[in-house]
Amino acid sequence: MKKNINLLIITSVIALLALSGIQGYLIYNTYQLKKDVFIKETKKAISNIDNTKEMDSLAEQWYTYLSENLVEYKKNKIQKKEALDKFRPKTDSLNDLFKEYYKKEIAKRNLEYDIQYKKDIKSIVLFEGEKMDSIFSAVEGENIYTFGEKFPQEDEVVMSNARWFTDFEYEDEVNSGGIKISMDLEVRTVDYINIIGWKRIVFGQMASLFIFSVLLILFVVILLFYSIRNLIRQKKLADIKTDFINNITHELKTPMATLGIASKTLRKPEIQGSPDAFANTLDILDRQNDRLQKLVDQVVTNSLGSEEIILKKEEVLDDTYFKNVLKDFQLSVQDKNVTVTSKIEFREVNLNIDKFMFTTALLNILDNAVKYGKDEVEIVFRTYLKDDLYEISIHDNGIGISPKEQRRIFEKFYRITEGDVHDVKGLGLGLFFTNQIVKAHQGNISLESKLDLGTTFTINIPINK
């Protein structure tokens, strides 16, 4: 059974991890989808910014200036590097106009978030017939010709790619004697946007889904936890009931067997002819019948909860009451090696208790000290008055109780299962009933114990109730 429960727990944990993994995967896919949709909608909202007269005018200015510098380069009046160096200040001067224009156009879209925009020139290539002359090619991660805002590469979102083709003519006065030469110019550009705080926006859109997923996982975890805990409790309860049945069966076998033998003995003529033997056999029947009755009463009475116990309280003097309890207890164990030391509160205190019930609770603890004690049992019985509480402490030098057993010692039908205590008779109801009696008196009971060093039970009851 234990292996089955362990297997169930392992399987449940694996299933929970698998469910969490699937849930995480679905959330990630939803995040990617929402991210793509959000960026797509943003692109759509600003897609036509370039298609305006103002943008065409700016493009025409830098394109014309670039063409003029390239003509000078082709006429061998300047080097390629000089042509690019002369072009860079022009892009810088136009950039302020470019940024101002984009900010104005983006503001017209009434977006709920800020956007940065830039256009990078990636390459400039001249074609003269079959000849290709690469004027400029941007190095990866470095764009020296940029219009618009500058922002880190990891924040870039590609808006569009463009290739501009145009042709122009110039007169080659040196090599061709004033003949006009036609050339094609190709310029490649990439437009980027940076959506400020896009992750926060996307996560905000997913907040309800994320919260629902977390709550769902928590619900499954809690449900699994309580299911497994209840299963373990049910198993423990089944074990306890089985143990109880075995114990009570063992307790009933002896008196029943004795009753059977005694009844058969009474049928014998020689017993019937002997008044003394007949009377002794009847005494045996009476004793075993009383024993059976006490076992039944113990099961019925000791199974009551604190709220079901009806107390018949009376006022008793603590010193007299406890001395009588200890005296009766010592008489019951006079055939055993038991030493009882007592120290009762020096002030006279009147306790309002049910004498029969409270005596039963104390005797249950004292009897356990003998049952689970060593060869020489030593019991120390002390009482104290602490404000409105009356404390009773019972210490023994027995085998002690492990921390694991201490947590369950007051449970119904529970019996210690470590060491040699299997040989101790009982139904596992004594300490349970003791706890219920103390609770019925509006008090509480606790214990401290160490293995091989003994156990101390402490009872506190109010003196004004």
For 360-371, how does the pLDDT look when each residue is reduced to its tens digit (9 = 90+)? 889 889 988 888
- Residue 386 covered by a domain: yes
- Residue 235 covered by a domain: no
Tell me the CATH number at 422: 3.30.565.10
Closest CA to 301 of 360, 248, 253, 244: 360
One domain, residues 192 and 322: no
* Spatial contact of 273 and 251, defined as CB atoms under 8 Å apart: no
- Residue 119 covered by a domain: yes
- Residue 309 covered by a domain: no
CA angle 65, 100, 143 (to 5 degrees): 55
Closest CA to 46 of 95, 116, 136, 132: 116
Instruction: Quick: pLDDT tens for 152-172.
Output: 888 888 888 888 887 777 666
Q: Residue 122 pLDDT more than 60?
A: yes
What number is the average pLDDT over the span 213-234?
Answer: 84
Q: Which of 175, 205, 235 is the last residue of a domain?
A: 205
Number of domains in the chain: 2
Which structural domain range is residue 62 located in?
46-205
- Residue 288 covered by a domain: no
What number is the average pLDDT over the span 296-323?
Answer: 75
One domain, residues 198 and 320: no
Does the model's pTM come out above 0.85?
A: no
Mean pLDDT score of the chain, rounded to an integer? 81
Q: Which of 190, 205, 220 is the last residue of a domain?
A: 205
Considering 23-32, 70-79, 437-446, the range whose residues carry the highest mean pLDDT is 437-446
What pLDDT does 323 receive?
92
Structure tokens given for 34: 């929402």
- Residue 161 covered by a domain: yes
What number is the average pLDDT over the span 95-116?
Answer: 82
Q: Which of 172, 205, 238 is the last residue of a domain?
A: 205
Q: Residue 173 pLDDT more than 70?
A: no
d(CA 46, CA 390): 83
- Residue 86 covered by a domain: yes
Sheet with 389-396: list strands edge to edge.
Answer: 338-343, 377-386, 389-396, 454-462, 444-450
- Residue 110 covered by a domain: yes
Bigger pLDDT: 90 or 19? 19
> Measured on CA atoms in the order 268, 270, 273, 279, is the torsion positive or negative?
negative
Q: How confident is the model at residue 70 (pLDDT cuts 50, 70, 90)?
A: confident
